[in-house]
């Protein structure tokens, strides 16, 4: 069984198109017009357990949209996917405990807490087993050479240190 599989995943966004002026607003109340944007169009692939892959494409190609669908943050307009045997947009707790996603520009860490406390807060929010959590945090903080930074406020960490902590949080 593939770790991740997607079959014809499609996401179409509909946005209301209003004509200018008062008359356009009135017409919009009676008959709305929409523009459709295809953010992802029939995307299909399989990733086996243990494979390392890159997800490349130009701006606007739908990379982030597909990742959001696979993580359960967005429902697709059509198509099907399974991640670790789960349908992502069903958002089952069993999947959420096994799956994480780290994307640029998103913060999993709380700016006003030390990194360790921020990680502990995430552990409590997501219901992660304490023994498993401690084993992962200890191992990754050692591997990423940030063990001595665990009690530093997140806002005081360098960008590289914050990115390593974000990776631990994922």
Domain of residue 11, residue span:
1-90
What is the DSSP-derived secondary structure letter of residue 51?
-
Q: Is 77 found in the same domain as 9?
A: yes
User: How is residue 80 written in tokens?
Assistant: 């099907």
The tally of domains found in the chain comes to 2
Is 163 within the bounds of a domain? yes
- 130/123 Cα distance (integer angstroms): 8
Which contacts (CB < 8 Å, 24+ apart) does range 21-28 have?
none
Question: What's the predicted TM-score (pTM) here?
Answer: 0.56
Q: Are both 16 and 77 inside the same structural domain?
A: yes
Same domain (yes/no): 3, 85:
yes
Do 11 and 49 share a domain, yes or no?
yes
Both structure tokens of 90: 């069903």
pLDDT by residue, tens only, the chain of 170 residues: 888 999 999 999 887 777 787 877 777 777 877 788 888 999 999 999 989 888 888 777 888 899 989 988 899 999 999 998 889 888 877 777 777 666 665 677 888 889 999 999 988 888 888 999 999 999 999 999 999 999 999 988 887 888 889 889 87
CA angle 58, 47, 69 (to 5 degrees): 60
């Amino acid at each position: 069984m593939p770790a991740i599989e997607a079959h014809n995943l499609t996401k179409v966004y509909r946005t209301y198109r209003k004509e200018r002026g008062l008359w356009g607003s009135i017409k919009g109340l009676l008959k709305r017009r929409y523009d459709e944007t295809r953010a992802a169009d029939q995307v299909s692939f399989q990733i086996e357990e243990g494979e390392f892959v890159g997800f490349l494409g130009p701006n606007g190609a739908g990379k982030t949209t597909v990742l959001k669908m696979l993580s359960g943050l967005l429902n697709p307009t059509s198509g099907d996917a399974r991640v670790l045997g789960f349908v992502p947009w069903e958002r089952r707790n069993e999947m959420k405990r096994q799956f994480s996603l780290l994307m640029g520009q998103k913060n999993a860490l709380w700016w006003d807490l030390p990194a360790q406390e921020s990680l502990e807060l995430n552990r409590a929010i997501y219901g992660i087993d304490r023994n498993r959590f401690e084993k992962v945090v200890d191992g990754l903080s050692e591997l990423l050479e940030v063990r001595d930074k665990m009690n530093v406020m997140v806002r005081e960490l360098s960008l590289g240190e914050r990115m390593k902590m974000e990776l631990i949080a994922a």
